[in-house]
Amino acid sequence: MARQWSGGHSVAVLCVGVSGDPGGPLASGGEGGEVALWSQDGVLLGTVQLHGGEDVTCAAFSPVSNVLYVSHGEAVSVLDPRSLKGPIEKLSVGTDEINWLSLNETGAVMAAADDSGAVRVVELASGKVTRTLRRHANICSSVAFRPQRPHSLVSAGLDMQVMLWSLQKARPLWTVNLQEVTEEEEGDTQTSGQLLNPPLAHCVSVATCGNAVACGAEDGRVHLLRVGAGSRPEHHTSLQTHSQGVAQAHFLSFLPHPYWLATGGNDSQVALWDVSWAMGSTGGEAKGRAAAPRRKHRGKHPATPKAPADQPEHEGASGVETGHNPPQGKDMGPRLRFSHGDKVNWLCPALLKGEPCLLVADQGSAITVYSLSGL
Ligand SMILES: *[C@@H]1O[C@H](CO)[C@@H](O)[C@H](O)[C@H]1NC(C)=O
Ligand SMILES: *[C@@H]1O[C@H](CO)[C@@H](O)[C@H](O)[C@H]1NC(C)=O
């Protein structure tokens, strides 16, 4: 059942963020500098209009303190959700438009992905940029710290690259080109029905185990990667159900295992997937054969160290090159899929008063809340 939260915005809502506190508030950002704060039952707690009127592209709560960060234009404003007035502080992060924010688990550092392709890491105590990670050759659309892995984050961009970074080394440990790995997965045959759009990456999410990475892309696919031993990219496969670009892909952090993934796209579809079959069966460092590494490598993908001996060399079209039988057909499809009725701008999984929900923002000024209870 869907319900709507309205009255907080007069124009399109572009992003939604949820506080890590059980019972804590949610925030939404919209076009024209609008920010709204909501209770878990959808009561509007306050609004603020940011000076400058730039679109609010991302809203992220600190996991440890009562602070909300919102990106708009080239700046990040710091807001106090207990008294939502003007910004307490404005961080000048760079000179390019910011597309995405991610805070690390202790809330000590924030990463901002921007239009120049850079990820800037800001130490929040001082408000200073401590690292600028430059490797993307086009807009960096999204960035995510890896849970349980300090000093490590993943970024994705319109250059079709997904990068795993070490903050200590300030360089990528690996780079995966989504176009190359998709061609490999397809067995170099042009499959019919494949979208002609290149896999420009719009969104990246890391599951709570820290190793499962999902990336929504313009080719309509949701690309799945695993960080394996030695931080190598272990595995690539992709999920297909969207017929247009996938703007949003977010792992859910509040269900019994970490491999539930919600996606939303320009085709107005919202899908919920259980990707355990691709990522390993149980939480943490799954050693399951379902996560067996691929053996065919090309280009700059590092070879995986130890492929199981019983794993046959496989040049076929199946994305999941495992030695046992991966789930086939409908088991690989979404567990839930519905039409939201409008292009999805943002998708936010949240536990609202104990009820698992998906919040969807679109071209309209309201937020739609879908309950997942009964899943
Ligand atoms: C968060 O960042 C701070 C500052 O770099 C670091 O000391 C801390 O270990 C990080 N914590 C996590 C969980 O990433
Ligand atoms: C999805 O919509 C956005 C915003 O209208 C646009 O920038 C993007 O190119 C679209 N992608 C696809 C695949 O239609």
206 plus 233 within the same structural domain? yes
Determine whether the shortest distance from the Cβ of 248 to ligand 2 is under 6 A.
no
What confidence tens digit (pLDDT) does each residue in 230-272 have? Answer: 888 888 899 999 999 999 999 999 999 999 999 999 999 999 9
**Ligand 2 atom with the shortest distance to the CA of 197:** 13
User: Measured in angstroms, how far is the CA atom of residue 153 from the centroid of ligand 1?
Assistant: 11
Ranges of residues in the chain whose predicted pLDDT is under 50: 192, 281-326
Ligand 2 atom with the smallest distance to the CA of 245 is 13
3 state SS of 184 = helix
Q: Which ligand is in closest contact with the Cα of 196?
A: 2
Residues 339 and 292 in one domain: yes
Q: What is the pLDDT of residue 28?
A: 98
Whole-structure pTM value: 0.86
Rounded to the nearest angstrom, the distance between the alpha carbon of 266 and the centre of ligand 2 is: 6
Whether residue 286 contacts residue 277, with contact meaning beta carbons closer than 8 Å, is answered with no
Which ligand lies nearest the alpha carbon of 107?
Answer: 1
Ligand 1 pocket, 105 CB below 6 A?
A: yes
If asked whether residues 61 and 145 sit together in one domain, one would say no
Q: Residue 244: CB within 6 Å of ligand 2?
A: yes
Ligand 2 centre to CA of 118 (Å) is: 22
Count of other CB atoms within 10 angstroms of residue 196 = 6
The Cα 141–Cα 199 span in angstroms is: 13
* Segments forming the whole domain that contains residue 76: 1-92+345-375
Judge if 286 and 370 occupy the same domain: no
Residue 122 in domain: no
Closest residue by Cα to residue 258 from 210, 326, 328 = 210
In CATH, what number is assigned to the domain containing residue 236?
2.40.128.630
**Atom 2 (ligand 2) nearest CA:** 266
**What was the pLDDT predicted at 305?**
32
Residues 154 and 296 grouped into a single domain: yes
Provide the pLDDT for residue 85: 87
- Assigned domain for 115 exists: no
Kindly state whether residues 156 and 170 are assigned to the same domain.
Answer: yes
Q: 109 C-alpha to center of ligand 1: Å?
A: 7
Q: Report CA(105)–ligand 1 centroid distance (Å).
A: 7
* Strand, helix or coil for residue 69: strand
Whole-Å CA distances, 241 to 238, 336, 358: 10, 11, 18
Task: With beta carbons less than 8 A apart as the criterion, state whether 110 and 103 touch.
Answer: yes
The ligand whose atoms approach the alpha carbon of 106 most closely is 1
Q: Establish if 102 belongs to a structural domain.
A: no
174 and 314 in a single domain? The answer is: yes
Q: Residue 345: how many CB atoms within 10 A of its CB? A: 21
Ligand closest in space to the Cα of 141? 2
pLDDT of residue 56: 98
Any atom of ligand 1 within 6 Å of the Cβ of 109: yes
CATH number of the domain residue 53 falls in: 2.130.10.10
Q: State the pLDDT at residue 235.
A: 80
Residue 248 confidence (pLDDT): 98
- 141 and 126 Cβ atoms separated by less than 8 Å: no
Q: How many domains does the chain have?
A: 2
* Per-residue H/E/C for 118-140: EEEEEECCCCEEEEEEECCCCCE
Q: Evaluate: CB of 166 within 6 angstroms of ligand 2.
A: no
Same domain, 80 and 34: yes
Ligand 2 neighbour 218 (Cβ under 6 A): yes
Residues 6+ apart with CB under 8 A from 173: 164, 165, 166, 231
Q: What is the pLDDT of residue 190?
A: 53
Q: Whose CA is nearest to atom 3 of ligand 1?
A: 108
CB 239 within 8 A of CB 289: no
Do 186 and 266 belong to one domain?
yes
**Closest ligand 1 atom, residue 130 Cα:** 5
Ligand 1 center from residue 146 Cα (angstroms): 11
Give 65's DSSP letter.
S
**Is the residue at 199 inside a domain?**
yes
What's the pLDDT at 287? Answer: 36
Does residue 268 line the site of ligand 2, with CB under 6 A? Answer: no
User: Is residue 59 located within the same domain as residue 143?
Assistant: no
**Is 117 within the bounds of a domain?**
no
Token representation of residue 328: 């086939």
For 180, phi and psi rounded to 5 degrees?
-65, -45
**Cα 150 to ligand 1 centre (Å):** 5
